[in-house]
């Protein structure tokens, strides 16, 4: 009888231990399943450059706009690009020139920032190849003279157009895109550009190239910046 009680006691103890282990496993699985999954949003993000719109509103010699877009195809990499149009008037004592044209830039962005879930911000570096097709119009020009008071030179008011000019450049971008509301982003970026090739009018140098910005004499380096607002159209998460 005593032996039977001992066997019954150990059997009950083993069954209780097994029950506790199974219960702990179930609770652990429930806790694991209840944790939110760190899913990234994939979709097309489209926006506009607010800096160009503001410059158009407040400047008398500039008008332009830019539409920008990107698409995430991996955790860190985005296909990105910009398309836009610009018109810039340049006036000095000797020249009155208008540059007008369109441009396209395409490349990749790499997000260097590791977000805390569920944030979806970017601190990125990007690379672009840019192409511009534009027109230079010389509205008025005056030949430079050493002694203009003693030898005045009349202005040439004959308008001269140089159509179908083009330029190609490469640029690197560094910027930030912050999600201020769900799928709505504000961004700022700086651009450093290198001019690869350009068409120039006869006896005249390009002063401005749409998309590239101001051209400095004897240099192929350009710079720019942008402020953007964009919205991501979510397609899926994974």
For 195-233, how does the pLDDT look when each residue is reduced to its tens digit (9 = 90+)? 999 998 887 889 899 999 999 877 899 999 999 999 999
Task: Give the range with max mean pLDDT: 15-19, 132-136, 149-153, 214-218.
Answer: 132-136
pLDDT of 184: 97
Average pLDDT estimate for 122-136: 97
Whether pLDDT at 178 is above 70: yes
Residue 2, judged by CB atoms within 10 A of its CB (0-12, 13-18, 19+), counts as exposed
Report pLDDT digits (tens) over 131-140.
999 999 988 7
Q: 52-83 pLDDT, tens per residue?
A: 999 999 999 999 999 999 999 999 999 999 99
More confident residue, 173 or 149: 173
Instruction: Give the C-alpha separation, 229 to 188, whole Å.
Output: 9
> pLDDT band for position 20 (50/70/90)?
very low
pLDDT confidence tier of residue 164, bands split at 50, 70 and 90: very high
| Model confidence band, residue 10 (pLDDT cutoffs 50, 70, 90) | very low
Mean pLDDT of 8-12: 47
pLDDT for position 237: 83
Q: Provide the phi-psi class of 122: left if phi over 0, else alpha when psi is between -120 and 50, else beta.
A: beta
CA distance 189 to 113: 15
Three-class SS of residue 145? Answer: coil
**CA–CA separation, 64 vs 221, rounded Å?**
22
Rounded average pLDDT over 78-102: 91
Q: What is the DSSP letter of 13?
A: H
Helices first, then strands: H and E counts in the chain:
2, 10
Which of the four pLDDT bands, split at 50, 70 and 90, describes residue 151? low
CA distance 45 to 190: 19
Judge whether 62 and 86 are in contact, CB under 8 Å.
yes
Structure tokens at 180: 């201020």
Q: What is the structure's pLDDT at 18?
A: 45
Kindly report which listed range (24-28, 154-158, 217-221) carries the lowest average pLDDT score: 24-28
For residue 54, give every residue at least 6 positions away whose Cβ sits within 8 Å of its Cβ, in sequence order, or none: 227
Cα dihedral sign, 194-163-133-64: positive
CATH number of 41-237: 2.40.160.20
Extents of the domains making up the chain: 41-237
Which residues are 187's β-sheet partners?
A: 177, 228
DSSP state, 60?
S
How large is the average pLDDT for residues 44-48? 97
Residue 158: per-residue pLDDT: 66
Share of the chain above pLDDT 90, in %: 59
Distances 145 to 19, 37, 40, 141 between C-alpha atoms, Å: 102, 73, 65, 13
- The pLDDT of residue 82 is 98
Average pLDDT taken over every residue of the chain: 83
Residue 97 to residue 160: CA distance in whole angstroms: 10
What is the predicted pLDDT for the residue at 148? 55
């Amino acid at each position: 009888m005593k032996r039977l009680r001992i066997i019954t006691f150990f059997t009950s103890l083993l069954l209780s231990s097994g029950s506790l282990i199974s219960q702990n496993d179930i609770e652990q699985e429930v806790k694991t399943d209840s944790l939110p999954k760190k899913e990234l949003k994939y979709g097309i993000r489209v926006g506009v450059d607010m800096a160009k719109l503001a410059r158009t509103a407040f400047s008398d010699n500039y008008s332009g706009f830019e539409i920008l877009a990107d698409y995430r195809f991996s955790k860190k990499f985005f296909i990105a690009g910009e398309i836009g149009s610009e018109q810039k008037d340049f006036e000095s004592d000797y020249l009155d020139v208008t540059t007008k044209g369109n441009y396209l830039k395409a490349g990749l962005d790499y997000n260097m920032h590791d977000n805390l879930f569920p944030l979806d911000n970017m601190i990125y570096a990007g690379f672009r190849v840019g192409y511009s097709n534009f027109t230079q119009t010389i509205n008025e020009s005056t030949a430079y003279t050493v002694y203009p008071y003693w030898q005045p030179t009349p202005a040439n008011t004959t308008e001269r157009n140089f159509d179908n000019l083009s330029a190609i450049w490469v640029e690197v971008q560094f910027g930030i895109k912050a999600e201020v509301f769900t799928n709505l982003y504000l961004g700022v970026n700086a651009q450093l550009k290198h001019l690869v090739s350009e068409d120039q009018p006869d006896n005249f140098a390009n002063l401005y190239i749409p998309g590239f910005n101001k051209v400095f004499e004897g240099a192929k380096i350009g710079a720019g910046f942008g402020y953007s607002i964009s919205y991501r159209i979510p397609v899926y998460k994974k």
